[in-house]
Structures are given as C-alpha cells and as structure tokens.
Amino acid sequence: MTKFIKFFILIIIINNVSIPAFGRCAVCYTNGLSGASIAVIVIVFSFLLLFIGNKFLQKFLNRS
C-alpha cells in the first residue's frame, strides 16, 4: 500500500510541475486556427467520445 501512495504522490508532483510546452495558448499551438474553430473541434471531439463511451457502457450494462 505504501508503494501505491508513493507512486500517487509522485504522479501528483509530476503533474503539478510547470512544463513550458503546456503553457502555450491553443491558437499559438495550432498555427493560426481561430478560437472558434478550436472550440468547434473540441465540441465535436467531446461529442464523439461521449457517444462512443455511452454505447460501450450501454452494452456492458445490458450484458450484466
């Protein structure tokens, strides 16, 4: 159990360390896409991810 706690604390520390590559804005990172187009991409991707996840979850729950 202590190995798990140490690993969990290590992951938290690694995630909280500031990494310069993650500090860039989305518009700069995508080489000129506008904020609206980035928002549409995020919304469509989220919809697809949730739709697929819902289908798998329904299959899993109906099987049980």
Q: How far apart are alpha carbons 17 and 29 in whole angstroms?
A: 20
Alpha helices (H) in the chain, listed in sequence order? 2-16, 26-29, 35-63
Predicted local distance difference test score (pLDDT) of residue 1: 66
Per the structure, the count of domains in the chain is: 1
**Residues of the domain holding 9:** 2-63
For position 52, what pLDDT does the model report? Answer: 93
pTM of the model: 0.51
pLDDT, one tens digit per residue, over 5-47 is 888 888 887 777 755 555 666 666 677 777 788 888 889 999 9
